[in-house]
Amino acid sequence: MLNRITLKDKTFELYLPHDAIMKGIESVAARINADYAAVPTPVFLGVLNGCFMFMAELMQRIVFDCEVSFVKLASYEGTCSTGEITDLIGLKENLCGRHVIVVEDIVDTGQSMEHLMGILKKHNPASIEIASMLFKPESYTKEFEIKYSASSVPDHFIVGFGLDYDGLGRNLRDIYVVKDGF
C-alpha cells in the first residue's frame, strides 16, 4: 500500500487503509442487520458513481432479504439560467410504502443528500434512512440525521474507494486525503 499518491496536480496521503475501511463497513452492516431484522424487504438505493465500492462491500454483509438498486444525480446547466439543476435518473422501483436505505459515498455539506431526500420523499416511502461510507461532521450544515456512517473524516478533500478527484482515484482500495488541504 502506498503512503503517498499523486493524481493530476495534487498529492494525497494515506488516511484510511483498506482494513480500517472494512472494519467501518462491518460495523455499519451489523447495525443495519440488527435494525432491519424484522422489516419487510427493505430496498438499498445506491447513489452512483461514488457508492459502488461501499455498496458492494456492504451488501455482502447484509443477511436479510432485500432489493438492491442504483440511482444517479445528473447535473446540467439550465438553458435559461446560470444555476445548476440536478435530476434523479434511473429510479425504476415504486418506493411507495417501502423501507428505503440510501447508500452514499460521502456526505459533506449535506446539500446533495437534502436534494435527493426531497425527491425520494415525494414517492411516499414507509421509511428512509441514510448509510454513507464517509461523513464530514465539520462541514455538515443540515438537520437530518446520517444514521449509518462507516467513518467520520476531517473537512479536507478525500479520494479512493469510490471517491474521485476530477474523475481519477475511484479504483484505489485505500482512502487518501489531500496533502495541503483544499
Q: Which residues are catalytic?
A: 108
Out of Mg ion, ligand IMP, none, which partner does residue 158 contact, by CB within 5 to 8 A per kind?
Answer: ligand IMP
Instruction: Quote the CA–CA distance of 4 and 2 in Å, as a whole number.
Output: 5
Site for ligand IMP in 69-88 (CB under 6 A): none
Residue 108 interacts with ligand IMP (CB under 6 A): yes or no:
yes
Q: In angstroms, rounded to a whole number, what is the distance separating the alpha carbons of residues 176 and 5? A: 8
Among 35, 112, 144, 147, binds ligand IMP (CB under 6 A): 112
Q: Which of 56, 59, 163 is nearest to 107 (CA)?
A: 163
Task: Report if residue 21 touches ligand IMP, rule: CB under 6 A.
Answer: no
> Per rule CB under 6 A, is residue 105 in the interface with ligand IMP?
yes
Residue from 24, 42, 46, 50 that binds Mg ion (CB under 5 A)? 50
Contact region for ligand IMP (CB under 6 A) — 14-22, 59-67, 75-83, 111-119? 111-119
163 contacts which partner out of ligand IMP, Mg ion, none, CB within 5 to 8 A by kind?
Answer: ligand IMP
52 in contact with ligand IMP (CB under 6 A): no
- CB atoms near residue 116 (< 10 Å): 20
Which of 25, 55, 130, 158 touches ligand IMP (CB under 6 A)?
Answer: 158
Q: How far is it, in rounded angstroms, from Cα 182 to Cα 180?
A: 7
- Owner of C-alpha cell 440511482: 71
Question: Does residue 21 contact residue 150 with C-beta atoms inside 8 Å?
Answer: yes
In three-state secondary structure terms, 166 is coil
Please identify, using beta-carbon distances, which residue of 25 and 36 lies nearer to ligand IMP.
Answer: 25
> Is 163:170 a contact under the CB 8 Å cutoff?
yes
Q: How many Å apart are CA 96 and CA 77, to the nearest integer?
A: 31
Binding residues for Mg ion, per CB under 5 A?
Answer: 50, 105
Binding residues for ligand IMP, per CB under 6 A?
Answer: 50, 104-113, 157-158, 163
